[in-house]
Structure 1
């Protein structure tokens, strides 16, 4: 009778025959640190020894620390059609036009129509109706979360990281009603999901009933989620502490452009709202002191990109790089894809092309300061 060989036995044999078994641990780690996350994920299946190193929290944190010094641009690209596809592509933030590109296709489900939140420590959260997923766009690993328990389809979500307890959390707010002629809706149910085995959605209490803006961006900083909403008929900054799981409200300055066109951005390590009126001028409002609700108007810039891009293109503000450069991108998706970088200090405008993602029908999300991670879920 032929003896059945189990997977664990095969893995033990591969460990014994591993030609790298004599390499010191420090050298193995140094080798892995030079590889992209997708290659590291494949190496985790070589042997138990490689897997134990790669899946350890120490290695993940070390890789994240080094990656944070080389932030990248991350593109989420959805291609509609008879065969719907989704892929993620990252590139050097310093030189997006270079050949330093990493692409990972997303094939978890047959329905890839997800809208993704800003990546946090290498992970990203996507939502499609009441279906939600969390994944690592650098390795292609995604996990499906339990469906949000609500009879309503119109929900809003935010993804963040609590550094004190070292956990990722998703905040989900269902919408109970929508006022006419407004861009926002009243949030009714507030639920939180903590990433981990055997977890489930938990109902939370919100003492500040507010109305969300459908296009509002969410920023996670130091374990707190921030987003813009209407509170007592005034546009305000709402915060949700991921550790205490409590909401708070900060008043915004009485500025018409800020109230009407403001969007949250990452800038100078502080919460910043950028407001862009129809004339192209961009104002940056920086929250200097949260407790005292002190704001300062950091800059007012008017980039002249028409000489490079032409008058026929309509651009919108997308964010600010760690270098301080302001990013503007077309509302449509050009082919080849490009965006505009404006340096407010040097008064320089440049056109940056990114190969491999342009398509007239594509829906593209762009994320800045993305940190690649080899983390397994």
Structure 2
């Protein structure tokens, strides 16, 4: 009786270079499954050099992390820029029922931060689902009663993530630093690392913008100083607060409303989107750093932008041609700034709603990485 041939194991004869060239193009979720194919693949996928190769490839094709609710449950859903669902994470299943989404840095080594029950922070890599939780600082007499304001950023020179927060019942702001190892492996009691930021009590943040925006090493909130609208800023490297005044054209508005302006990070720089009083036009202002902290009005005035998109519009990214990808509550379109026309063509991303019942609350560009 002829003996049956054993199935050929592709691990045995393909050179490492070929296997690596194939695998590094795959999404993280697939690679995590492929680690159990054989010991050789597990060793290859687990190596630091492969993880960096995979990350560099992923930088060419960023994905979107959608923070949404369906029937009251929060989800993190990963979709590519064609709208295809890559992964879906039920946060309620791990005790994160009441969560808020902090704007998070985009780029290599990017993590995501959530505020849970206004009592703790949840920092994770949604691609691998590795995470750590950070509780409020403890005090000998009075503990803070909850999180009031917060922001999340990254200092590449130190390879550190930073959370800066203001707690209810506390005058001064506090900060905590963590490394990627704190998320990847158990790092003991991270909560003990909270430290007080000296002389920070006088820096105020508008009630309508509790979550700051990160751009180029600085955290930004909408604030006020001497009854004048400004940005309350925190330098992650210097670990100190400072104030940047808004452009005169904006500050002169007598009746200010929080929905008249939006802070967004585009291509690493902070931008201010501002709606003219009594109009639907929107202007785009860029903050010029490097110590000058001046504002430059960009070569655009988006006529009827808010009227066309409604209250849910959000800028997502700007490409090298100066065109902006905008989210409209149900789909995304590229906006050609100079000509004020929309185009779909090859770069239009319709129907990013991965589930019709989902209500998308926030999102971020993300690098699908094993790190």
Task: Calculate the TM-score normalised by the size of structure 2.
Answer: 0.76
Shift of 1:190: 1.4
Alignment of 1:1-377 (within 5 A): 20=11, 23-46=14-37, 49-81=40-72, 84-92=73-81, 95-96=82-83, 100-107=84-91, 109-120=94-105, 121=108, 122-128=110-116, 129-149=118-138, 150-176=143-169, 188-195=172-179, 196=182, 197-198=187-188, 199-200=190-191, 201-208=193-200, 209-216=202-209, 218-256=212-250, 260=257, 261-277=260-276, 279-298=279-298, 299-303=300-304, 314-323=310-319, 324-325=323-324, 327-330=326-329, 337-339=330-332, 341-349=334-342, 352-359=350-357, 362-367=359-364, 369-375=365-371
Task: Write the distance in 2 (CA, Å) between the matches of 1:238 and 1:85.
Answer: 30
Query: Structure 1 residues 63 and 237, CA, compared in 2 at 3 Å: closer, same or farther?
Result: farther
Shift of 1:127: 0.7
Cα pair 1:175 1:189 within 8 Å, conserved: no
Task: Write the distance in 1 (CA, Å) between the matches of 2:217 and 2:119.
Answer: 25
Higher share of residues assigned strand = 1
State the secondary structure of the residue aligned to 2:279: coil
State the secondary structure of the residue aligned to 1:353: coil
Query: Structure 1 residues 85 and 210, CA, compared in 2 at 3 Å: closer, same or farther?
Result: closer
User: Size of the alignment, in residue pairs?
Assistant: 330
Cα pair 1:237 1:250 within 8 Å, conserved: yes
Cα pair 1:135 1:142 within 8 Å, conserved: yes
Shift of 1:215: 4.3
Query: Structure 1 residues 303 and 123, CA, compared in 2 at 3 Å: closer, same or farther?
Result: same
Cα pair 2:75 2:88 within 8 Å, conserved: no
Task: Calculate the TM-score normalised by the size of structure 1.
Answer: 0.75
Shift of 1:273: 0.9
Q: Structure 1: 5+ residue runs without aligned partners? A: 1-16, 178-186, 331-336
